[in-house]
């Protein structure tokens, strides 16, 4: 794409409602600033309500006319996802953009409340469940979009179907790459399924390149977190730049769904929004479909695209080594 796309390039968002997971800091908060600057109603979906309210206060200080709400969402707890979605569905009649932004990076081995490995459970399964539960609202909103954040780590990612829970070995970085590849495959498969039923909703993936956020410090062990975060700060771009691919994916009229947006600099590490084709070889139809079926089974969330067709009964997952 030509030119340097910035927040000034965004269309007016007045009258549009946006949900951003992990909106209390880092990329999520920078993304919220972008939407608020263009008049969107912003819902910050956060784990920590105190931090979320502080972020909302900052938004209102900069944009006094902004419409900002804070709602609690813990993606590592499927009951929290269900409660959050029920609150949204019960209160709002439309949802124009869902930004699946929140994530945890390279933590010591741990599990979600539902027993999933933390990175796969939070980064992928939590967002899979959230999107599925909010899908009815998205489908009834003309021109709605689901934007799911992946990472350059997806390039080296692999889906360990025989070890999704980490029972037979765990590597923090490999499992982070797995979760980010899962985000990417989910976004593409969601678009395939939306297109199949002629839905107006679009699904687009993006990544922030190497951006200076608090993701690592929240996710890593104390020693590793300090060292990695220090190195990250030397090579990364500001969070405001890292948020541009998300804002582009959420608002650029030329997009048709299924794209992957990232920085245009060398290696996709820094720069302005552009199309990233570096992971096209990862878009394996069989893997995407298998991940989708596994995700539905593990979360208990089965997507209804209102197409009038019967859902295929999820197959037994025992042969995949999944015993959740």
Catalytically active residues, by annotation: 176
Closest CA to 124 of 164, 182, 76: 182
Residues 205, 249: contact at Cβ < 8 Å?
Answer: yes
What's the CA gap between 177 and 247, in Å, rounded?
23
DSSP string, 57-108: HHHHHH-TT-EEEEEE--TT-HHHHHHHHHHHHHH-S---EEEE-----SPS
Take residue 5 and report the two structure tokens written for it.
């796309």
Residues 38, 116: contact at Cβ < 8 Å?
Answer: no
**Residue whose entry in the numeric block shows the structure tokens 């070889």:** 281
Closest CA to 16 of 136, 132, 100, 138: 138
Edge-first strand order for the sheet with 17-21 is 67-72, 41-46, 17-21, 97-100, 145-149, 202-206, 260-263, 273-275
Closest CA to 129 of 83, 61, 70: 83
Number of continuous H segments (helices) and E segments (strands) in the chain: 11, 10
Q: Which helix (H) or strand (E) holds 239?
A: helix 239-242
Q: Which helix (H) or strand (E) holds 98?
A: strand 97-100
**Residue whose entry in the numeric block shows the structure tokens 């037994």:** 316
User: What value does the CA radius of gyration of the chain take, rounded to a whole number of Å?
Assistant: 18
């Amino acid at each position: 794409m030509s030119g340097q796309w910035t927040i000034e390039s965004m269309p007016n968002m007045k009258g549009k409602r946006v949900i951003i997971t992990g909106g209390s800091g880092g990329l999520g908060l920078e993304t919220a600033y972008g939407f608020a600057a263009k008049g969107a109603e912003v819902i910050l979906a956060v784990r920590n309500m105190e931090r979320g309210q502080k972020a909302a206060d900052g938004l209102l200080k900069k944009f006094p006319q902004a419409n900002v709400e804070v709602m609690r969402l813990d993606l590592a707890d499927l009951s929290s996802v269900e409660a959050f979605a029920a609150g949204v569905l019960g209160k709002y009649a439309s949802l124009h953009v869902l930004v699946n932004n929140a994530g945890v990076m390279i933590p010591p081995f741990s599990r979600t409340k539902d027993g999933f490995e933390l990175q796969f459970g939070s980064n992928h399964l939590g967002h899979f469940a959230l999107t599925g539960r909010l899908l009815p609202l998205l489908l009834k909103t003309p021109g709605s979009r689901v934007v799911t954040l992946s990472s350059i780590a997806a390039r080296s990612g692999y889906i360990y179907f025989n070890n999704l829970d980490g029972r037979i070995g765990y590597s923090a970085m490999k499992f982070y790459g797995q979760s980010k590849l899962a985000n990417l495959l989910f976004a593409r498969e969601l678009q395939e399924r939306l297109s199949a039923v002629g839905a107006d909703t679009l699904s687009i993936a993006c990544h922030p390149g190497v951006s200076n956020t608090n993701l690592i410090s929240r996710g890593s062990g104390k020693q590793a977190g300090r060292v990695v975060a220090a190195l990250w700060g030397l090579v990364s771009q500001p969070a405001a730049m890292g948020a541009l691919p998300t804002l582009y994916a959420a608002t650029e009229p030329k997009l048709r769904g299924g794209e992957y947006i990232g920085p245009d600099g060398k290696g996709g590490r820094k720069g302005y929004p552009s199309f990233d084709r570096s992971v096209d070889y990862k878009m394996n139809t069989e893997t995407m479909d298998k991940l989708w079926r596994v995700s539905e089974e593990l979360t208990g969330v089965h997507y209804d695209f209102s197409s009038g067709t019967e859902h295929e009964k999820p197959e037994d997952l025992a042969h995949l080594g999944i015993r959740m």
